[in-house]
Structure 1
Amino acid sequence: MSLAGASAIIDGVQPGTALSVRRRKLRLLPYVLLAPSLLFLALFTYLPVLRVLVESLWDKPHGTGAAAHFVGLGNFAKLFADPAFRQAALNNLVYAVGVLVPTLVLALAFALAVQRSTRFSSVLRTVFFFPSLVPLVAAASLFFFIFLPGVGLLDYYLGKIGLQGPNWLGDSDIALWSVIGLTVWKNAGYYMLFYIAGLQNVPRDTVEAAMIDGANAWQRLRFVILPALAPTTAFVVVIALIQLLTNVDHVIVLTRGGPSNATNLLLYYIFQSAHENFDYGRAAAATLVSVAALLALSLGSLRILERGAGGHG
């Protein structure tokens, strides 16, 4: 007698009976329901990653008719030796920090301002959330006219108070910060929604107890609200990092990586390597490095914030 048969007899079900067949079907049901999702995950996530991994180990000269040859880690060596890649990586780091910090601060401030259900709060909520509804390409086109030197909306109002604005997109010291400003304007209202949801889970009893003990608004925010919002913040940080590394439409519209690679981000570098320079091996290597960096940053953010939440708890 097989082990499955003995187990069925112990359970009081004879092998081959209708009840036994039904239980077997019930055990298979979760796998059947998950099969379509697992299939799509394999086809559109794991298979592309595997293909990029293979392409990163080969070099195929474009337009020469030469056959692809195995170079191992040669593409990674060329990648890290490329000054343009190092500049793009540094730009992406500055861009991520420059966007993430003010976006989180504004999103939390917006959420605190509109958390009460009043008519005025509803209007403010709509105003704050509206930029996130604008497509990124449309937002970049709008800001392109705002940043136009001399005739743009920003320079027009600066001229009204006697100031002259710089070349917002043409100055290599300022261009990246102009792109950062657009991204903060676009994303803060979206992340506000997560903080509004998180504020609903902050224990009111704890906040009221802090008020009775004489804690002012800043102390309540620092010692009660922020620790309670740590899981929300961790989630927002991970989502924001993914978005910052995977959105490049605004760079293409505004600067195309210029001037002098000052706004060249990793995804745009990958785009240039693959579709302008036809260096698919280097593009694949840069993709893997970007994914690895994003994974490390995401896991690190979750660990740090969870540890902080545990310390406050």
Structure 2
Amino acid sequence: MTDPFTLERRRKAIHGWLLLSPALILLSVFALYPSIATVWTSLWSRGTRRNPSEFVGLENYQYLFDDPTFWLVAWNNFLYAAITIPISIALALSMALWANSKLPVRGFIRTAYFTPTVLPMIAAANLWLFFYTPSFGVLNQIGAIFGAAPVNWLGQPSTSLWAICAVTIWKESGFFMIFYLAALQTIPPDLKEASDIEGASAWTYTRRIVLPLLMPTTLFILVNAMINSVKLIDHLFILTKGGPSDSSKLILYYIWEHAFAYFDRPSAAAMTVLVLALLGAVAAFQFVMLEKRTHYR
């Protein structure tokens, strides 16, 4: 006869697995299997009807490392991330601090900051076309008032990537602000009262108390911003399509081109594997190395 303690433990184990099974099934179907299939596809050659695909090992990766366009796109993406991530986080923090203060129009300010976030990506890109259109765009109209020559913001290599960065910063700052705003409202008001009693200035209170308490939120936003920096594709379809001369082409758009425009799935899979490996390494570094520094002691 089975021990009642063993039966109870077995019942709890079955109950636990039943609770986990929906998440495990979804992760296996939509995350684990696609990842394994992508790695496997990257090890085969591009197949045609006459020449079926063959196992080539790491040749697709070697092809990418020898491709100057791949390195140009990687540099564009690095520059794009280096510009948009710190500026978006700094703006989000500034907006959250202001929106959390005691203002008579606080609700309106929060709504205004968050409005760009709820716009679809395609709609936001089309909206910014009115700003960037040569000669007739809002930016060139404002510049004409001061006698500046019209600029083709999206049509020249020196400004196209910066124009894409501006759209991203405008779109993501309000989204990140919501996380900071929620974190600010969890800070006990007693800390502010104690700092006032001690005679600390507003800047000292923000630097010594508020910012350290917001570090876990900053780490969370930083990870999300890193992921967002390599998955931009909607704006590029509308604004530049990666041009001119690949000056604004980012990695996800380049992957899409190989997979659906050139029908070179192995090369697209190889780039995807490299992106996943890089993101995994960066996320692991952020959580393992920076986790100890993010909590206020």
Work out the CA distance in 1 between the residues paired with 2:70 and 2:158. 18
Among candidates 141, 144, 154, match of residue 139 of structure 2: 154
2:116 corresponds in structure 1 to 131
Asked if the contact 2:134–2:150 (Cα under 8 Å) also holds between the matched residues in 1, the reply is yes
Distance (Å, rounded) in 1 between the aligned partners of 2:126 and 2:120: 10
* Amino acid in the other structure paired with 2:58: L
Which residue of 24, 43, 46 maps to 1:57?
Answer: 43
Cα distance in 2, alignment partners of residues 97 and 158 from structure 1: 28
Give the letter aligned to residue 296 of structure 1: A
1-side partners of 2:18 and 2:252: how far apart? 37
Query: What TM-score results when the alignment is normalised by the length of structure 1?
Result: 0.89
- The answer as to whether partners of 1:137 and 1:249 remain within 8 angstroms in 2 is yes
Aligned residues: 297
The 8 Å contact of residues 202 and 229 in structure 1, kept in 2 or not, is answered as no
Say whether the 8 Å CA contact 1:237–1:298 is kept in structure 2.
Answer: no
For residue 207 of structure 1, report the CA deviation from its aligned partner. 3.3
* 1:283 maps onto 2:268 in alignment: yes
Q: Map of 1:1-313 to 2, 5 A cutoff? A: 5=2, 8=3, 13=4, 20=7, 24-62=10-48, 65-116=50-101, 119-310=104-295, 313=297
- Alpha-carbon distance in 2 for matches of 1:305, 1:153: 42
Q: Is the 8 A contact 2:219 2:294 kept in 1?
A: no
CA offsets per residue over residues 218-254 of structure 1, 9 Å max, x none? 2222221111100000011111211221221101111
CA distance in 1, matches of 2:5, 2:115: 63
AA aligned opposite 1:159: A
Contact 2:88–2:173 (CA<8 Å) still a contact in 1? yes
Amino acid at match of 1:251: L
- SS of alignment partner, residue 70 of structure 1: coil
Displacement of 1:66:
0.5
Sequence identity percentage: 36
- Residue identity opposite 1:237 in structure 2: L
User: Contact between 2:61 and 2:270, CA under 8 Å: does it hold in 1?
Assistant: yes
Gaps of at least 5 residues in structure 1 are: none
Distance 1:14 1:25, change over 3 A: closer
- Aligned equivalents of 1:166, 1:217: Cα separation in 2: 42
CA deviation digits over 1:16-44, x for unaligned, max 9?
A: xxxx4x66433311111211221121111
Distance change in 2, residues 1:301/1:187 (3 Å): same
CA distance, structure 1, for counterparts of residue 173 and residue 240 of structure 2: 22
CA distance in 2, matches of 1:24, 1:248: 48
Native 8 Å contact 2:242 2:248 kept in 1: yes
How far off is 1:212 after superposition? 3.2
CA contact (8 A) 1:230 1:305 kept: no
SS in 1 for 2:148: coil
Cα deviation for residue 208 of structure 1 reads 3.1
Measured after TM superposition, the shift of residue 274 of structure 1 is 1.1
Q: Work out whether residues 255 and 268 of structure 2, in 8 Å CA contact, stay in contact via their aligned partners in 1.
A: yes
